[in-house]
Amino acid sequence: MRRRSAAPTSPLPQRQGVDPVHLRLPATGGPWETVREYLGERLPAVAAERVDGLLRAGEVVGEDGRSVGPADPFRPGAHLWFYRELPAEVPVPFELEVLHRDEHLVVVDKPHFLATTPRGRHVVETALSRLRHTLALPALSPAHRLDRLTAGLAMFVVRPQDRGAYQSLFRDRLVRKEYRAVAAYDPAVELPRTVRSHIVKERGVIAAQELDAPPNSESRIGLLERRGGLGHYLLRPSTGRTHQLRLHMSGLGLPILGDPVYPVVLPEPAPDDFRRPLQLLSAAMEFTDPLTGRPHRFESRRTLAAWSDPESW
């Protein structure tokens, strides 16, 4: 098997924690005489005026850091870099607290509404971009995913060569995770219990689905406390399917407060509406460090407003 060679180092630095776009021209050549012709075909979603503007302004560069102009010839296999046009983003007005930092790991306490990694219309206003910029760690990468609407613990890897070791902890279910949630209380739902189901999440579809198939997800759900018609729940997932806890709680007839997707997909709120966060918190993570052998346990310092301060909710 031929091993793919590593991409060369970008001559452009990150901007606000966001990498420049990297393109490699086809090694076999093609019908393009100039770089401009190739980019016009390769980037159909980018307006022609934008492509021309980048080239005229000298904002497309090659491996040597020199600008590439509109009339420069197409060179098979050449590497190009340029900065993407960032979407307009409403700042998420909550702090991202660093709980732990060493030579291998950064563990943060993420607020609600802040995406973990750049995706779609959330690019700069993400935990990864903020951390790369504020900690001056351009190679930082996520060890796992945490939904944008979920608050609490998220883990990042400092060095690219260590990423696989930490990602394997989550893949091999070696991280013991605890979540807290606030939802309605129903005495007819017997707890604690283990919920298993087969979850499928299609790309481009907001809601995941549970199918009649062998289970691929498992959650242990218990009640910590009851207050009137509300319950404070402890959730321990042993798998990490997308929206798993939200689906399992909704399936019990106990949808998590503030959930805009389960059991019914609601109209998306305005980008600057931060009033009703999903009442789900990644509260604790425990594992043995695969590189140092040290035991780690991290705990979130955040609380769920519907439980700690119901009047504000």
Tokens 């902890």 appear where? 169
CA dihedral 213, 214, 219, 223 (to 10 degrees): 70
Specify the long-range contacts of residues 125-132, CB closer than 8 Å, at least 24 apart.
125/89, 125/90, 125/91, 125/92, 127/96, 127/154, 127/156, 128/17, 128/156, 129/16, 129/17, 129/18, 130/17, 130/96, 131/17, 131/96, 131/98, 131/106, 131/156, 132/14, 132/17
203-216: b or e for each residue (b if 16 or more CB lie within 10 Å)? eeeebbebeeeeee
pLDDT tops 60 at residue 205 = yes
pTM listed for this prediction: 0.88
- pLDDT for the residue numbered 28: 86
Distance CA 169, CA 172 (A): 5
- pLDDT for the residue numbered 5: 56
- Whether 116 contacts 107, CB under 8 Å: no
Q: How many CB atoms lie within 10 A of CB 112?
A: 23
- The residues that are catalytic are 147
> Is 298 in a helix, a strand, or coil?
strand
Q: Which uninterrupted H or E stretch holds 163?
A: helix 163-171
Q: What is the set of domains in the chain, with CATH numbers?
A: 21-82 (3.10.290.10), 97-312 (3.30.2350.10)
Structure tokens at 266: 């609601």
Distance CA 234, CA 247 (A): 15
Q: What does each C-alpha distance from 168 to 11, 229, 287, 311 come to in angstroms? A: 31, 40, 12, 42
69-100: b or e for each residue (b if 16 or more CB lie within 10 Å)? eeebebeeebbbbbeeeeeeeeebeeebeeee
Distance CA 249, CA 262 (A): 9
pLDDT tops 70 at residue 2 = no
pLDDT one-digit tens code per residue, 177-204: 999 999 999 999 999 999 999 999 998 8
- pLDDT for the residue numbered 223: 98
Distance CA 88, CA 108 (A): 25
151-157 vs 280-288, strand pairing mode: parallel
- Whether 144 contacts 128, CB under 8 Å: no
pLDDT one-digit tens code per residue, 72-85: 999 999 999 999 88
- pLDDT for the residue numbered 1: 44
> Is 217 in a helix, a strand, or coil?
strand
pLDDT tops 60 at residue 133 = yes
Amino acid at 285: M
- What is the distance, to the nearest Å, from the Cα of residue 44 to the centroid of all Cα atoms in its chain? 26
C-alpha closest to that of 20 among 29, 8, 28, 32: 8
Instruction: Report CA Rg, the chain.
Output: 23
pLDDT one-digit tens code per residue, 267-282: 988 888 999 999 999 9
